């Protein structure tokens, strides 16, 4: 019996030793009585989702940061100084802070920003993750080039009257038509703004709102005569918002289909209304009768339709050689070989 007890004692001793050995294998530094190991320590993680708004375009700077940590109860975010913490729910009493589970941020603009989330549990264990957020403005689609008809000023049929390099470019309410002419190495291939006449070009075309466009026009001025009325060429881009009320533009594809009157602009006062002008450029005589390329640019603003209006100016307001529109070209002839409008992408 005594021996039996002795064995039992040995076993008990062995047992206690083993338990002690097992317990001391835990990595818990200073276990308190009754402590259990933290078998599910926190693991920090989050996702950042761009607002990528439809409108307004500033939306792309806003990000929704959503906590995806595991086994965590408390959170501490670190964000760069120039990044703003947003309160998207201003109706409630909760003011977001850097200890909220999910936060919303506004970045100052494009760039790469580091955001850190430290998540912890109630045992004080923590886990940290840092992510680089690359803020990129969403791409915009390429704007298509507008379609101008007879932009090379070829001698083509009109809806009435004889063929003209000005076909497709006539608005009888605001000027006389340009004249067919030759130059720049061709024949019947340029349009002429005759001296001392109210000659013009006018055509409406379709644009994408809020887009940039480039106008390129190739012109030639006759050498200055030295008179008191030097000719100048004026080019305007007129907003569709300034069209006569109720007018809807039609975009013809063939010069023969173009009417010669009844367009969106029907008076010079309407043309000269400042608010209607997206672009006004004036070419002075370059003292070189060769063909020179001029490049301008404009933004379409809120318009989906605009009109290009080009005329010779510099002469006396009245008493010229043509109709009475309150303007005339000056002493020299001007010719244009082509005009193009392209989207600036």
Partner 1 sequence: MKTNFLKILYTTAVVSLMLTSCSVDELTISNPNEPDKTPTLNDPSGFVSILNGMYDGYQKIPAGEFLITELRSDNGVSANGDGDFGDIESFNMTADLGEAANYWTNNYKVILSANIILDNQDRIQNSNKNQIIGEAYFMRALSHFNLARAFGDVPFIDREITPEDFEEYPRLPLSEVYQKIVSDFNAAISNLESFSAKANRGTAGAAKSLLAKVYLSAPTPNYAQAKILLDELVDENNSYGYQLLDSFENVFAFDNELNEEIIFAVSYESLSTPPITSDARDDSSAQVQGDSQRFSIDMTAAGRAQGVNLATPELQALITAASEPIRFPVSFLSSTVGSNRVENNKFQPDADQNSGRDWIVLRYSDVLLMHAEAIMGEFLETSDADAITSYNRVRERAGVAPIAGGDVLTKEALLNERRVELAFENHRLYDLIRFNQAVPILTQFSNDNGYNFSANDLLLPIPQRERDVTDNFYPQNPGY
Please report, as ranges, the residues that interact with partner 1 according to CB under 8 A.
Answer: 3-4, 7, 11, 45, 47, 49-55, 59, 62, 64, 66-68, 70, 88-89, 91-92, 101-102, 104, 138-141, 143-144, 206-209, 251, 304-305
Measured CA to CA, the distance from residue 10 to residue 295 in angstroms comes to 103
- Closest approach of Cβ 130 to partner 1, in Å? 18
Measured CA to CA, the distance from residue 32 to residue 25 in angstroms comes to 15
- Residue 2 or 122: the one with the smaller Cβ distance to partner 1 is 2
- Residue 96 or 227: the one with the smaller Cβ distance to partner 1 is 96
User: Contact at 8 Å (CB) between 44 and 129?
Assistant: yes
- Residue 209 or 286: the one with the smaller Cβ distance to partner 1 is 209
- Closest approach of Cβ 296 to partner 1, in Å? 21
270: nearest Cα among 183, 187, 201, 174: 174
User: Contact at 8 Å (CB) between 85 and 105?
Assistant: yes
- Residue 133 or 190: the one with the smaller Cβ distance to partner 1 is 133
193: nearest Cα among 232, 144, 159, 143: 232
- Closest approach of Cβ 138 to partner 1, in Å? 6
- Closest approach of Cβ 135 to partner 1, in Å? 15
- Residue 151 or 305: the one with the smaller Cβ distance to partner 1 is 305
- Closest approach of Cβ 206 to partner 1, in Å? 4
- Closest approach of Cβ 126 to partner 1, in Å? 18
Which residue spans within the chain are E strands per DSSP? 46-50, 62-67, 74-78, 84-86, 103-106, 111-120, 126-135, 176-177, 179-183, 186-193, 199-206, 212-221, 232-239, 277-283, 292-299, 305-313, 334-343
Only one residue has tokens 């709102």, namely 209
Only one residue has tokens 């580091």, namely 114
- Closest approach of Cβ 58 to partner 1, in Å? 13
- Residue 6 or 326: the one with the smaller Cβ distance to partner 1 is 6
- Closest approach of Cβ 83 to partner 1, in Å? 18
State both tokens at 59: 């939306």
For residue 220, count other CB atoms closer than 10 A to its CB.
Answer: 20
- Residue 9 or 140: the one with the smaller Cβ distance to partner 1 is 140
137: nearest Cα among 111, 103, 113, 115: 111
Q: Please list the residues that pair with 232 across neighbouring strands.
A: 313
- Residue 143 or 233: the one with the smaller Cβ distance to partner 1 is 143
322: exposed, middle or buried (Cβ count in 10 Å: 0-12, 13-18, 19+): middle
- Residue 251 or 288: the one with the smaller Cβ distance to partner 1 is 251
Measured CA to CA, the distance from residue 160 to residue 188 in angstroms comes to 18
- Closest approach of Cβ 14 to partner 1, in Å? 12
Sign of CA pseudo-dihedral 242, 247, 248, 253: negative
Measured CA to CA, the distance from residue 264 to residue 308 in angstroms comes to 11
């Amino acid at each position: 019996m005594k021996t039996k007890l002795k064995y039992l004692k040995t076993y008990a001793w062995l047992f206690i030793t083993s338990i002690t050995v097992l317990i001391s294998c835990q990595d818990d530094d200073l276990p308190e009585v009754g402590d259990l190991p933290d078998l599910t320590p926190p693991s920090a993680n989050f996702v950042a989702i761009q607002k990528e708004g439809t409108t307004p375009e500033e939306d792309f700077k806003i990000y929704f940061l959503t906590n995806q940590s595991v086994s965590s109860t408390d959170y501490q975010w670190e964000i760069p100084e120039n990044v703003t913490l947003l309160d998207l729910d201003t109706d409630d009493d909760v003011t977001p802070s850097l200890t909220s589970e999910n936060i919303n941020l506004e970045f100052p603009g494009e760039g790469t920003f580091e955001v850190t989330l430290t998540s912890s549990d109630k045992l004080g264990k923590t886990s940290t993750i840092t992510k680089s957020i690359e803020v990129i403005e969403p791409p915009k689609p390429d704007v298509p080039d507008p379609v101008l008809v007879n932009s090379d000023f070829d001698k083509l049929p009109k809806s009435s009257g004889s063929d003209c390099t000005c076909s497709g470019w006539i608005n009888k309410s605001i000027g006389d038509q340009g004249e067919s002419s030759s130059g720049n190495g061709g024949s019947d291939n340029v349009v002429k703004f005759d001296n001392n006449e109210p000659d013009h070009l006018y055509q409406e075309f379709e644009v994408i709102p809020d887009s940039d466009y480039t106008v390129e026009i190739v012109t030639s001025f006759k050498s200055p005569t030295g008179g008191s009325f030097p000719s100048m060429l004026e080019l305007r881009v007129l907003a569709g918002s300034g069209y006569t009320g109720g007018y809807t533009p039609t975009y013809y594809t063939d010069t023969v289909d173009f009417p010669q009157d009844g367009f969106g602009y029907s008076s010079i006062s309407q043309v000269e209304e400042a608010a209607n002008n997206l672009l006004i450029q004036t070419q002075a005589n370059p003292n070189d009768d060769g063909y020179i390329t001029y490049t301008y640019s404009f933004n379409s603003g809120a318009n989906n339709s605009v009109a290009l209006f080009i005329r010779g100016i510099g002469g006396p307001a009245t008493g010229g050689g043509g109709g009475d529109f309150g303007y005339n070209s000056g002493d020299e002839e001007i010719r244009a070989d082509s005009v193009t409008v392209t989207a600036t992408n």
